[in-house]
């Protein structure tokens, strides 16, 4: 027996959507026919003989009054006619009066015929009295109020034109977008939005994997764990049931050999995440003795991320981790025995597809929660097969926190190799956000831009190093100074990779070579006249590394390359054809400034026609780098 499914306006199937479209067409046709009929009614006096119709009405009313029947209210039909006719004569058009006369004529004729055919049937005649009065009342209401209806329709149409516009909001994918909404291809209107205008509607996907039944789930360690930390809901039960069904799937593939255990690894990551969160909330020292997995999960978080971890609901932590692990099921294919192959290089994107196939996900998680989890999954990798991935401008700390864990989980077999890079990414991201806020505010509001900032027609921005350094707050300087050892470890690790690749005669990625160039240490002598203190040089060197990581610094001016110190002397040709020699400049790319301040960001900055790195400065720095 097929059960009846309750109709839900927010999850319409294709048939109901088609029927709804038909209903819209029928309503439009009905309004069109109504307007045409009203127009024709206004033209009736041109085609009817009012004198003949009036004579007929008078004769019929006299005949109805003279009918000898045994009921007292037969004359009410005539009274109803005169009451409505007098009103239309006073306030209606001649066409409306004529139409009402014709309808009344028909009603009177039918009423007389019934009375003559059934003179003794009081019940039937009483029914026809009601029928006759109702017909005349209905026609009168339509004729008397159609103008009001038409005005209401016109008003609603004008109102809807102003309201129904292309819907603009944050890109649902969260990729700094162009202000337009992302649609999944499902034909469904945006009917429910939250206070920020974000759609709460969530379309369920079709990437449905096999699950164990509820009895097996209830007996599993997953059930106990989720219940203990208040993270059990239908979505997490769904993900856990999938993992239990594929419990012996590998979590890593090395040279075609699968290793690890999907159930065991997922359980360990989830319980470690819960324990870390609880220890941070209770302000206890996090115990990581003899647990490398837990130690790495703590190391890859910054202080701010640990604070923000307190505010992440346990169900969201469990959902992100378990969803990521289920992505391996789609990404890996079993060949034979212990042989496996990668079907997809993007298990984190497979994870998102599986998560969206949960029928409960849209109901149990609001837009902000889904956005946080989605961004953490989508940006779990910092690099793709094509290029380095740019993180969204407005990705919040909670998403970054989960993202750190998800990348660690994706590459846990290689955790010792990437943990320093994960730490650098987390810390440099926070420093970059703080510096960007100060930098953008300074350009937007400062009155000291002239003489300190220069911009070319091509959009290159030159800023004095002293000004850039003066923007840094003490907290940013302290954070930058603390980065020194971490940057050295990452640099040495990349350099070791270079050496191994040369020995094994393998080609190392351009990304690695670029890192070694852009993160190399410059000597104090190179910029000592701009930043005389050694600590200041170290702080600038580390800031330069962070800015390079986020593509802020330009690489070349015309046909000359900017040295690794990123500090140059330039000769400018101004718009007044004056030549200016300015030393101690840093070259910035301006695409991010356009993102934050719009196309007119440079209106208050001095414009230059041409720029050239002066020979003495460039040669000096290039020789120092060699």
Tell me, yes or no, whether 251 and 147 share the same domain.
no
Tens digits of residue pLDDT in 289-314: 888 999 999 999 999 999 999 999 99
Give the pLDDT band of residue 265 (cuts 50, 70, 90). very high
Distance in angstroms (rounded) separating the CA atoms of residues 339 and 345: 17
Give the pLDDT band of residue 621 (cuts 50, 70, 90). very low
> Is 108 within a domain?
yes
| The predicted structure's pLDDT at residue 106 | 82
> Is 503 within a domain?
yes
Residue 9 confidence (pLDDT) above 70: no
> Is 518 within a domain?
yes
Strands 461-464 and 579-588: antiparallel
Last residue of a domain, one of 163, 198, 224: 163
Residue 318 confidence (pLDDT) above 90: yes
Tell me, yes or no, whether 597 and 494 share the same domain.
yes
Distance in angstroms (rounded) separating the CA atoms of residues 219 and 240: 12
Tell me, yes or no, whether 439 and 553 share the same domain.
yes
Last residue of a domain, one of 163, 180, 204: 163
Tens digits of residue pLDDT in 221-259: 999 999 999 999 999 999 999 999 998 899 988 888 888
Question: Do 245 and 210 touch, CB atoms closer than 8 A?
Answer: yes
Tell me, yes or no, whether 128 and 238 share the same domain.
no
Residue 286 confidence (pLDDT) above 60: yes
Tell me, yes or no, whether 373 and 466 share the same domain.
no
> Is 5 within a domain?
no
Tell me, yes or no, whether 315 and 438 share the same domain.
no
Radius of gyration of the chain measured on its C-alpha atoms: 39
Tens digits of residue pLDDT in 435-473: 999 998 998 888 888 888 999 887 889 999 999 999 999
Question: Do 111 and 132 touch, CB atoms closer than 8 A?
Answer: yes
Tell me, yes or no, whether 343 and 395 share the same domain.
yes
Tens digits of residue pLDDT in 140-186: 888 888 888 878 878 877 777 766 555 444 444 433 334 444 444 44
> Is 415 within a domain?
no
Note the Cα 516 to chain centre separation in Å. 36
Question: Do 610 and 573 touch, CB atoms closer than 8 A?
Answer: yes
Q: Which of 10-19, 330-339, 341-350, 545-554 has the lowest mean pLDDT?
A: 10-19
Tens digits of residue pLDDT in 345-390: 889 999 999 999 998 898 899 888 999 999 999 999 888 776 677 7
Percent of the chain beyond pLDDT 90? 26
> Is 368 within a domain?
yes
Contacts of 308 (CB under 8 A, 6+ apart): 397, 398, 401
Question: Do 450 and 574 touch, CB atoms closer than 8 A?
Answer: no
Burial 352-361 (b: 16+ CB within 10 A, else e): bbbbbbbeeb
Tell me, yes or no, whether 395 and 442 share the same domain.
no
Residue 579 confidence (pLDDT) above 70: yes
Range of 386's domain? 214-410
SS3 593: helix
- What's the whole-number mean pLDDT along residues 405-421? 91
Tell me, yes or no, whether 229 and 348 share the same domain.
yes
Residue 500 confidence (pLDDT) above 50: yes
Q: Which residue has the tokens 């009203």?
A: 38
Q: For residue 347, with 0-12 CB atoms within 10 Å meaning exposed, 13-18 middle and 19 or more buried, which class applies?
A: buried
> Is 581 within a domain?
yes
Tell me, yes or no, whether 350 and 239 share the same domain.
yes
> Is 99 within a domain?
yes
Last residue of a domain, one of 98, 130, 163: 163
Residue 20 confidence (pLDDT) above 60: no
Q: Which stretch, 102-111, 401-410, 562-571, has highest mean pLDDT?
A: 401-410
- What's the whole-number mean pLDDT along residues 513-537? 70
Residue 480: in which H helix or E strand, if any? Answer: helix 474-482
Tell me, yes or no, whether 374 and 290 share the same domain.
yes
Tell me, yes or no, whether 446 and 405 share the same domain.
no
Q: How many domains does the chain have?
A: 3
Q: Supply 379's token pair.
A: 């940006």
């Amino acid at each position: 027996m097929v059960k009846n499914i309750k109709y839900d306006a927010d999850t319409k199937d294709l048939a109901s959507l088609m029927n709804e479209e038909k209903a819209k067409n029928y309503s439009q046709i009905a309004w069109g026919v109504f307007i045409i009929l009203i127009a024709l009614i206004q033209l009736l006096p041109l085609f009817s003989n009012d004198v003949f119709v009036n004579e007929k009405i008078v004769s019929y009313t006299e005949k109805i009054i003279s009918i000898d029947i045994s009921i007292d209210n037969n004359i009410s039909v005539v009274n109803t006619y005169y009451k409505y006719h007098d009103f239309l004569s006073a306030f209606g058009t001649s066409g409306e009066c004529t139409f009402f006369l014709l309808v009344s004529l028909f009603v009177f004729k039918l009423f007389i015929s019934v009375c003559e055919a059934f003179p003794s049937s009081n019940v039937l005649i009483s029914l026809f009295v009601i029928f006759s009065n109702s017909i005349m009342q209905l026609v009168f209401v339509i004729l008397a109020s159609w103008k009001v209806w038409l005005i209401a329709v016109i008003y609603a149409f004008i109102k809807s034109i102003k309201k129904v516009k292309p819907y603009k909001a944050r890109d649902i994918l969260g990729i700094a977008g162009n202000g337009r909404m992302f649609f999944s291809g499902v034909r469904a209107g945006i009917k429910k939005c939250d206070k920020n205008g974000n759609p709460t509607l969530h379309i369920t996907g079709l990437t449905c994997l096999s699950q164990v039944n509820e009895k097996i789930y209830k007996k599993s360690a997953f059930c106990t764990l989720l219940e203990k930390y208040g993270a059990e809901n239908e979505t997490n039960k769904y993900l856990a049931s999938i993992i239990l069904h594929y419990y012996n799937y590998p979590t890593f593939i090395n040279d075609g050999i699968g290793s690890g255990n999907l159930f065991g690894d997922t359980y360990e990551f989830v319980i470690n995440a819960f324990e870390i969160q609880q220890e941070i909330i209770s302000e206890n020292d996090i115990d990581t003795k003899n647990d490398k997995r837990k130690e790495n999960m703590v190391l890859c978080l910054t202080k701010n991320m640990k604070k923000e971890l307190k505010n992440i609901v346990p169900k969201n932590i469990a959902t992100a981790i378990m969803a990521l692990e289920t992505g391996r099921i789609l990404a890996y294919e079993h060949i034979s025995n212990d042989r496996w192959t990668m079907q997809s290089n993007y298990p984190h994107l497979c994870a998102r597809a599986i998560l969206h196939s949960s029928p409960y996900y849209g109901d149990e998680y609001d837009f902000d929660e889904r956005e946080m989890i989605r961004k953490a999954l989508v940006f779990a990798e910092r690099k793709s097969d094509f290029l380095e991935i740019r993180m969204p401008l407005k990705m919040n700390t909670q998403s970054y926190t989960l993202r750190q864990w998800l990348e660690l989980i994706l590459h846990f077999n290689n955790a010792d190799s990437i943990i320093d890079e994960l730490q650098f990414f987390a810390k440099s991201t926070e420093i970059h956000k703080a510096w960007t806020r100060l930098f953008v505010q300074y350009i937007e509001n400062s009155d000291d831009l002239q003489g300190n900032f220069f911009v070319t027609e091509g959009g290159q921005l030159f800023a004095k190093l002293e000004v850039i350094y003066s923007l840094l707050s003490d907290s940013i300087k302290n954070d930058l100074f603390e980065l020194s050892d971490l940057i050295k470890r990452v640099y040495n690790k990349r350099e070791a990779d270079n050496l191994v690749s040369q020995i094994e005669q393998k080609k190392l990625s351009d990304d690695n070579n670029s890192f070694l160039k852009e993160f190399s240490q410059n000597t104090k002598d190179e910029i000592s006249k701009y930043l005389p203190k050694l600590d200041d040089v170290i702080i600038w060197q580390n800031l330069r590394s962070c800015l390079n990581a986020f593509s802020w610094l330009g690489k070349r001016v015309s046909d000359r390359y900017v040295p690794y110190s990123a500090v140059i002397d330039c000769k400018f040709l101004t718009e007044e054809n004056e030549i200016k020699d300015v030393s101690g400049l840093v070259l910035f790319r301006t695409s991010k400034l356009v993102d934050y301040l719009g196309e007119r960001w440079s209106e208050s900055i001095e414009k230059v026609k041409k720029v050239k790195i002066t020979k003495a400065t460039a040669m000096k720095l290039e020789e120092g780098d060699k």
